[in-house]
Amino acid sequence: MSVKPIFFALDGTTLNEFEFELNKLKGHIYGVKVGLQLFISEGPEVVEKLKNQGWTVFLDLKLHDIPNTVKEATKSASVIGADYLTIHIASSSEALYEATVNKGSDLKILGVSNALTSKAMSEEISNKVNKEFTIAKENGVDGVICPSSEIAKTKELFELIVTPGIRLENELQHDQKNISTPQFALSQGAKFLVMGRSIRKNLNYIINELQI
């Protein structure tokens, strides 16, 4: 069975509401993404539950705090079993460094740029993103959250590129302007994709027909 390089975004308040999809997707996709809403609602135990089910867990908390707090939060994320953790690059170079040297051997740090929003990408924003990604690289961050339009530039810095805003060919854009198909993002150099609504709306297609 071929495992698709996809993180399923668990954007909700309880893990139970994703039980059907998780059971169906097991063995077909790479992992799941736990965001701030679910993490606060369910608590750190949600990571343990998912790990016990055999999932790779991407903890999308977008840490943004003073260096010592980021360091300790990163340690905690490692202890509860997270495999990936997001941190705002704007937290400062010192905070990024503290995270990368205290993360443990099994946790990957993913940098997030403050310049990325739901707005369409412009040259000015693209330049800001590239500058922040360069800072992340200089401070030992493992990879970045990167929209499809910036992958070609970003892969000169990182191999670990995680791309959100993924939609199937016939889907509406909803709230994200910088979107692409799974095939396009992977062809540009993304390593993993983040998909939420598209999976829930097209579950059988994702499992049985999507070729990536």
pLDDT tens for 127-157 read: 999 999 999 999 999 999 999 999 999 999 9
Closest CA to 88 of 42, 31, 141, 46: 141
The pairing of beta strand 160-163 with beta strand 4-10: unpaired
Domain boundary assignment for the chain? 4-208
Whole-number pLDDT of residue 143: 98
Distance (Å, whole) CA 113 – CA 160: 15
Q: pTM of the prediction?
A: 0.94
Whole-number pLDDT of residue 55: 98
User: pLDDT under 50 in the chain at which residues?
Assistant: none
Distance (Å, whole) CA 70 – CA 93: 11
Rg (CA), the chain: 16
Residue 59, judged by CB atoms within 10 A of its CB (0-12, 13-18, 19+), counts as buried
Whole-number pLDDT of residue 2: 83
Whole-number pLDDT of residue 119: 60
Residues 6+ apart with CB under 8 A from 158: 133, 137, 142, 143, 144, 146
- Stated as kind and residue range, the H or E segment containing 201 is helix 197-201
Catalytic-labelled residue, pool 26, 49, 51, 62: 62
Q: Which CATH number fits domain 4-208: 3.20.20.70, 3.40.50.300, 3.20.20.120, 3.30.1600.10?
A: 3.20.20.70
How far separated are the first and last CA of the chain, in Å rounded?
Answer: 13
62 has catalytic annotation: yes
